[in-house]
């Protein structure tokens, strides 16, 4: 799982491996004007335009006890 920092200050937790996201952002097979589809932490699905993603970091699920 990773956390995405998007335009406008959005902070999104999504279920995608860090390496996969890194490859999506580095390569041109997804253009800046296209959307990347994600599954969010709660199971909902959505999409973010590639050009709106400012950064991302590896994240861990932390369960409260």
Q: What is the pLDDT of residues 2-59, one digit of tens each?
A: 999 999 999 999 999 999 999 999 999 999 999 999 999 899 999 999 999 999 999 8
Structural domain contains residue 41:
yes
Q: Is residue 47 part of a domain?
A: yes
pLDDT band at 65 (very low <50, low <70, confident <90, very high): very low
The pLDDT-based confidence of 61 (bands split at 50, 70, 90) is: low
How does strand 53-58 pair with strand 35-39?
unpaired
Q: Does 65 map to a domain?
A: no
Is the residue at 17 inside a domain?
A: yes
Quick check: is 16 in a domain? yes
Asked if residue 54 belongs to a domain, the reply is yes
Domain that holds residue 54: 2-58
- Residue 60: predicted pLDDT: 78
Q: CA dist 7 to 12, 43, 52, 60, Å?
A: 11, 22, 5, 23
Compute the residue count for the chain: 65
Sign of CA dihedral 45, 50, 52, 55: positive
Domain CATH for 47: 2.30.30
pTM attached to this predicted model: 0.81
């Amino acid at each position: 799982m990773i956390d995405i920092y998007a335009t406008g200050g959005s902070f999104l937790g999504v279920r995608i491996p860090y390496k996969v996201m890194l490859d999506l952002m580095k390569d041109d097979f997804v253009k800046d004007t296209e959307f990347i589809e994600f599954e969010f932490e709660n199971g909902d699905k959505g999409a973010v335009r590639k050009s709106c993603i400012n950064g991302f970091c590896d994240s861990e699920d932390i369960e409260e006890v």
